[in-house]
Amino acid sequence: MAQLTDDCFAFSGTLLPVAEMEKLIAERVTPISGTEQVSLSGARGRVLAADVLAPIDLPHFDNSAVDGYAVRHADVKASGETKLAIAGRLTAGKAASAAIGPGQAIRIFTGAPMPPGADTVFMQEDVRAEGETVIVPSGLKLGANRRLAGEDVRAGAVVLPAGRILEAQHIALAAALGLTKLELRRRVRVAIFSTGDEIVEPGTKRDGAAVFDANRYLLAELLNRLGCMVTDLGILTDDPAKLASALSEAAEAHDLVLTSGGVSTGEADHVRTAVETVGRLVFWRVAIKPGRPVAMGVIRGTAFAGLPGNPVAVFVTFVRVVRPLLLRLAGALPQPLMPIPVTSAFAYEKKKGRREYVRVALRRRNDGEYDAIKHPQDGAGIITSLTETDGLLELTEDVTAIAPGTRVGFLSYASLAG
Ligand code: AMP
Ligand code: MG
């Protein structure tokens, strides 16, 4: 099933601003079709295909929020103490048998149903039990420590919308409602390739000019965390014909074909030409640093994204270009990144008109605020600049310089990967 039609984008050779790229993806890419019923234990990280409606109220019945004594609020004197007769005992899981009468209290425990007629619960710490009676103070509000049926969820309400990516708390809610299965979108199938005559598999013999492949490992893990089904198709050499046939074949059985390397303007960069042979380029070059030469295209209805070769550029373009594309293909609701304001501890200059990502470590100050400290090495090939930092500062298009003390948006790696 084609997600992208051939005329869905107009190819632009100019630098595409990030916001425009995101708009194009949101407007023109259609989510994949196909759903399946999945049990709760297999649902984490997957995308809901349909709204979930609550089959029952939550809580299902009025119950006590504390261990204590259920009373009729009207029996409690407005001032001084009130002595009530203990008329019964209710533990969690036991249905209330008899209604509470005037002047009575019922010993009750957390989660036990409210006895009919009782409307308020005194915490056991706030009262004095004396034999068959309990002495309660004045001043407790009507309805205190009582949980009303439906105060959390009303039966029939939409509790989880279609497109929600399910995390532990969403699955817990489904379980609390008594559900055992959820209707989910099928996983997005992604094929990954590395490209480059110099790239070799880790563990193989390496001659002087060879480079161990880091990008397929980076991409596979980032894709796994997004709930994709990943097919690792290995390393391709810088051969236009081989690239074209490999991309074309991969497009047949996948929803997205993802490559790294070979998309720049060097003489050995053939990925773009290969895409144009078997499909169509949608855009090439986004106004982003690192990672400017990033390509998106369509190969017979299947999405294609060609990322740069340097691992840091791969990381940044994955987060900024592939992630929104994948979320859209997966039928997920948009998940806007949420930069958290921190304080720059350094000066930095950049070009206007492009979005720039700076790798930083955070340091907590005495006043509880966070300072962002730039990694000493800027190069897009410096992998330790990703492993020795906590996340990325996002410097927007309008910014031309920051100085120590400037407030800037920080994206943690943890927030970017999910
Ligand atoms: P390219 O865009 O193909 O010119 O690659 C840019 C740089 O990234 C070159 O130094 C490549 O050797 C390096 N590179 C490309 N692919 C990978 C990879 N899979 N793993 C590690 N480095 C890579
Ligand atoms: Mg290359």
pLDDT in tens, the chain (418 residues): 345 654 544 555 578 999 999 888 888 899 999 999 999 999 999 999 999 999 999 999 999 999 999 999 999 999 999 999 999 999 999 998 889 999 999 999 999 999 999 999 999 999 999 999 999 999 999 999 999 999 999 999 999 999 999 999 999 999 999 999 999 999 999 999 999 999 999 999 988 899 999 999 999 999 999 999 999 999 999 999 999 999 999 999 999 999 999 999 889 899 999 999 999 988 889 999 998 899 999 999 999 999 999 999 999 999 999 999 999 999 999 999 999 999 999 999 999 999 999 999 999 999 999 999 999 999 999 999 999 999 999 999 999 999 999 999 999 999 987 6
Q: Find the farthest-apart pair of alpha carbons in the chain and give their distance in angstroms, rounded.
A: 93
Pocket test for ligand 1, best of 197, 204, 211, 284 (most atoms within 8 A of CB): 211
The Cα 286–Cα 39 span in angstroms is 40
**CATH number assigned to the domain with residue range 63-147, chosen from the 4 options 2.60.120.1270, 3.40.50.10190, 2.60.120.10, 2.170.190.11:** 2.170.190.11
* 232, 18, 161, 255: CA torsion to nearest 10: -30
The per-residue DSSP string of 58-74 comes to BSSS-EESSSEEEE-GG
- Which residues are CB-neighbours of 211 under 8 A, at least 6 positions away? 196, 198, 199, 200
What tokens were used for 200? Answer: 């070799």
Regarding pTM above 0.85, the answer is: yes
Residues 6+ apart with CB under 8 A from 352: 397, 398, 399, 400
Q: Is 135 exposed, middle or buried (0-12, 13-18, 19+ CB in 10 A)?
A: middle
Closest Cα to atom 16, ligand 1: which residue?
A: 309
Closest ligand 1 atom, residue 269 Cα: 3
Pairing of strands 229-236, 189-195: parallel
Measured CA to CA, the distance from residue 236 to residue 36 in angstroms comes to: 34
N- to C-terminal Cα separation, the chain: 26
Q: In the chain, what are the domain boundaries? A: 18-34+188-329, 35-57+155-185, 63-147, 340-417
C-alpha distances (whole Å) from 147 to each of 105, 113, 368 are: 18, 9, 37
Residue 215 Cα: closest atom of ligand 1:
19
Q: How far is the CA of 293 from the centre of ligand 2 (A)?
A: 12
Class of domain 340-417: mainly beta
* 267 CA to centre of ligand 2 in angstroms: 9
Write down the pLDDT at residue 1. Answer: 38
Integer Cα distance of 262 and 235 in angstroms: 12
Beta bridge partners of 391: 360, 412
Question: Is there a contact between 78 and 140 (Cβ–Cβ < 8 Å)?
Answer: no
**Which residue owns the Cα nearest ligand 1 atom 6?**
309
Q: Which of 395, 400, 391, 403 is nearest to 345 (CA)?
A: 403
* Nearest atom of ligand 1 to the alpha carbon of 310: 8
Query: Measured from the CA of 214, which atom of ligand 1 is nearest?
Result: 20
Ligand 2 center from residue 256 Cα (angstroms): 21
Q: 290: cis peptide before it, omega within 30°?
A: yes
pLDDT score recorded for residue 97: 80
- Give the integer Cα–Cα distance in Å for 12 and 381: 27
Which CATH entry fits the domain spanning 18-34+188-329: 3.40.980.10, 1.10.287.70, 3.40.50.300, 3.30.450.20?
3.40.980.10
Distance 323 CA to ligand 1 centre (A): 21
Total residue length of the chain: 418
CA atoms within 13 A on the CB side of 288: 32
How many CB atoms lie under 10 A from the CB of residue 295?
25
Cα 329 to ligand 2 centroid, rounded to whole Å: 28
* Pocket, ligand 1, Cβ cutoff 6 A: 194, 196, 198-199, 211, 213-215, 260-262, 264, 266, 308-311, 381
Q: What distance in angstroms lies between residue 261's CA and the mean position of ligand 2's atoms?
A: 5
- Contact residues for 250 (Cβ-Cβ < 8 A; gap 6+): 191, 193, 231, 233, 257
Q: Which of 222, 270, 310 to mutate to test the pocket of ligand 1 (most atoms within 8 A of CB)?
A: 310
Best residue among 215, 294, 307 to mutate for probing ligand 1, ranked by most atoms within 8 Å of CB: 215
CATH topology of domain 35-57+155-185: Molybdopterin biosynthesis moea protein, domain 2 (3.90.105)
